[in-house]
Amino acid sequence: MIQRIQTIYLLIALAFGASMFFAPQITFAADTEYILNYTGIKAAAATENTKSIPTIALTILLVLTPMVSLMAIFLFKKRMIQIRLCAANIGLLLGTTALIYYFGTVGLKQLSATHLTYGISTVFPIAGAILNFLALRAIGKDEALVRSMDRIR
């Protein structure tokens, strides 16, 4: 149901989650420039002797969060499940933010980088969590309205 406000919130959260695959989250400045994206921490210009740090947990979370938003959109008739999915997605998105920060600090130490720069896409999980919270509230209001109409009958 596209006309519902919670669907708009979830679609925007889905767009934020999907865009995390296309933008680097962190750029490390060392002897070589490294970036953190969904595949891990890798050199911006791939050479043979550069380090690479895999980030499997971050990849799983980045795949899972847009999928949960998409599932919540299509379960519009089951509002209680939708509420649970939104709450779970908020937790996943906050975990994604914490994991990005963790890999930033670990990458800074392991790569002996002089400094790191967080990209604009680092804010996307937080924005997605806020949008999921707004969707959760709107779904709750719909559920309360439906329950109040059942009492009138």
CA-CA-CA-CA torsion for 122, 123, 126, 130, nearest 10 degrees? Answer: -150
Cβ count near 70 (within 10 Å): 17
Q: What distance in Å separates the CA atoms of residue 118 and residue 127, rounded to the nearest whole number? A: 15
Residue ranges per domain, the chain?
Answer: 5-147
- Identify residue 117 by its one-letter amino acid code: T
Instruction: Give the architecture (CATH level 2) of 5-147.
Output: Up-down Bundle (1.20)
pLDDT at 133 over 90: yes
Which residue would you say has higher pLDDT here, 113 or 134? 134
Report how far residue 82's alpha carbon sits from residue 52's, in angstroms, rounded to the nearest whole number: 38
Amino acid identity, position 38: Y
Kindly calculate the radius of gyration of the chain based on its CA atoms and give it in whole angstroms.
19
30: phi then psi, degrees, rounded to nearest 5: -130, -155
Q: Has residue 47 got a pLDDT over 70?
A: no
Instruction: Identify the pLDDT of residue 125.
Output: 94
Tell me which H or E stretch contains 54: strand 53-54
Instruction: Please compute the mean of the pLDDT values over residues 10-21 and round it to a whole number.
Output: 93
Kindly report the pTM of this predicted structure. Answer: 0.88
Distance CA 52, CA 36 (A): 10
Write out pLDDT tens, residues 86-108: 999 999 999 999 999 999 888 88
